[in-house]
């Protein structure tokens, strides 16, 4: 299936923004292509051409590539590098929006409607961000329950192949109870934005065939693979999936017993995210993650990093799960940490998921009761 992430006019906007903000001399080109496989970089047509021509050729090349065999998306990596180099200047909004659109389009993450998002005023900068020593110890322990997920796509009972290799979708999962792992439905669904959901038989095949890798903490560690098992429950609206795993000894994350409510800008609560962004080694999101809104089923929170970590646990400062991370959107007109731009994330309240599971899978109700 041919891949074109963006139409020509949108690609032109990206090219213009890169040229005007960063340029595309050889050193900048190397920085923007950092993280891409050497074999792929060797195929890129930009080479030693004049900067604008080089960028035009490279962007067109990347625009036509979907997932690599490891599940990564080259254009997304290029845009991540560009956003990292441009900082928070408003002229880079074109790049930030493009990055979110690639993220949503290639993961099937639910769209986040940002209309009516309340402004977070500069007063939040003055909050006391000190945490007790035990906070770090608790984070290390909590991270042991978080795993990288690689889900092969199935259609009509057969794995989809790309260049002879299974087509892989990436995500994060975490132990909610002994032998049970939680992630997003859209991670296990393994479909792009706009596609029909996988039929149930394929969904179950994908869950049974996915790779679950614990302790992948840095590039130098192999991690500990665990065999997945049966898909126990899922829901598209709450965007969760529950899968059995063979390891029943790994400790589960504690869950908050009470839903988050009454979020006020002047006293915004911080949350923490343990994640495997784009299948990379485990990372902590523990800075600039302030709640902005809450309903009975979901919470919203800012972050200074892009998502790419679907299925991650969202935790309070006691390292109790308060929500399941679902997706990211880019917003403007919001004042946050000295910048007029920010990403907003959305997560499903863990209390809403537990209530749904207790109705749908009553035999698991005891092990899934809130533990906070």
Structure tokens at 32: 């923007």
Read off the pTM.
Answer: 0.86
The Cα 107–Cα 208 span in angstroms is 19
pLDDT, tens only, 229-281:
899 999 999 999 999 999 999 999 999 989 988 776 556 688 999 999 888 99
pLDDT, tens only, 141-186:
999 999 999 999 999 999 999 888 999 999 999 999 999 999 999 9
The predicted pLDDT at position 15 comes to: 96
Q: In 3D, which of 326, 317, 333, 277 has the Cα closest to residue 299? A: 326
Structure tokens at 200: 């149930």
CB 306 within 8 A of CB 92: no
Q: In 3D, which of 315, 321, 309, 345 has the Cα closest to residue 171? A: 309
DSSP assignments along 33-76, one per residue: TTTS-HHHHHH-S-TTS-HHHHHHHHHHHHHT----TTS--HHH
SS3 label, residue 359: helix
User: What's the start-to-end Cα distance of the chain, in Å?
Assistant: 47
Segment of 2-11, 243-252, 353-362 carrying the highest mean pLDDT: 243-252
CB 143 within 8 A of CB 274: yes
Q: How many percent of the chain have pLDDT more than 90?
A: 61
Residue 125: band (very low, low, confident or very high) from pLDDT cuts 50, 70, 90: very low
The Cα 170–Cα 187 span in angstroms is 7
pLDDT, tens only, 182-226:
999 999 999 998 899 999 999 999 999 999 999 999 988 999 999
Phi/psi for 33 (5° steps) reads -95, 5
Sign of CA dihedral 235, 240, 246, 250: negative
Distances in Å between the alpha carbon of 221 and those of 214, 216, 225? Answer: 10, 6, 12
Distances in Å between the alpha carbon of 260 and those of 112, 121, 315? Answer: 19, 21, 11
The predicted pLDDT at position 124 comes to: 42
Distance from the Cα of residue 66 to its chain's centroid: 17
Residue 330 or residue 294, greater confidence? 294
Sign of CA dihedral 186, 371, 346, 100: negative
CB 271 within 8 A of CB 65: no
Residue 122: band (very low, low, confident or very high) from pLDDT cuts 50, 70, 90: very low
In the chain, count of helices (H) and strands (E)? 10, 18
**Helix residue ranges per DSSP H, 108-166:** 134-143
Strands (DSSP E) along 201-337, which ranges? 211-214, 224-226, 228-235, 240-245, 272-275, 283-285, 291-294, 298-303, 313-315, 321-336
Q: In 3D, which of 265, 283, 264 has the Cα closest to residue 273? A: 283
């Amino acid at each position: 299936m041919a891949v074109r992430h963006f139409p020509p006019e949108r690609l032109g906007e990206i090219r213009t923004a890169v040229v005007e903000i960063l340029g595309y001399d050889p050193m900048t080109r190397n920085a923007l292509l950092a993280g891409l496989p050497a074999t792929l970089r060797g195929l890129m047509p930009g080479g030693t051409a004049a900067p604008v021509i080089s960028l035009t050729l490279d962007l067109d090349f990347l625009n036509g590539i979907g997932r690599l065999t490891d599940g990564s998306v080259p254009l997304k990596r290029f845009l991540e590098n560009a956003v990292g180099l441009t900082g928070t200047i408003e002229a880079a909004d074109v790049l930030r929006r493009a990055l979110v659109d690639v993220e949503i389009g290639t993961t099937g993450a639910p769209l986040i409607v940002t209309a009516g998002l309340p402004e977070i005023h500069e007063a939040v900068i003055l909050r006391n961000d000190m945490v007790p020593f035990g906070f770090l110890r608790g984070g290390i322990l909590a991270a042991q329950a978080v795993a990288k997920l690689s889900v092969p796509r199935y259609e009509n009972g057969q794995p989809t192949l790309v260049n002879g290799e299974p087509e892989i979708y990436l995500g994060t999962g975490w132990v909610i109870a002994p032998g049970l792992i939680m992630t997003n439905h859209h991670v296990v669904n393994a479909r792009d934005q706009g596609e029909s959901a996988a039929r149930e038989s394929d969904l179950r095949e994908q869950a049974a065939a996915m790779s679950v890798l614990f302790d992948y903490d840095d590039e130098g560690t192999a991690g500990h693979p665990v065999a997945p098992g049966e898909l126990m429950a899922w829901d598209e609206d709450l965007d969760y999936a529950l899968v059995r795993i063979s390891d029943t000894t790994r400790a589960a994350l504690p869950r908050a017993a009470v839903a988050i409510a009454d979020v006020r800008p002047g006293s915004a609560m911080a949350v923490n995210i343990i994640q495997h962004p784009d299948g990379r080694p485990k990372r902590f999101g523990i800075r600039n993650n302030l709640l902005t809104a809450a309903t009975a089923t979901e919470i919203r929170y800012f972050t200074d990093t892009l998502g790419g970590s679907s299925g991650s646990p969202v935790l309070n400062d006691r390292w109790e799960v308060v929500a399941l991370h679902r997706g990211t959107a880019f917003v403007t007109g919001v004042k946050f940490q000295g910048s007029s731009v920010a990403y907003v994330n959305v997560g499903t309240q863990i209390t809403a998921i537990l209530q749904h599971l207790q109705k749908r899978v009553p035999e698991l109700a005891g092990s899934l009761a809130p533990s906070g």
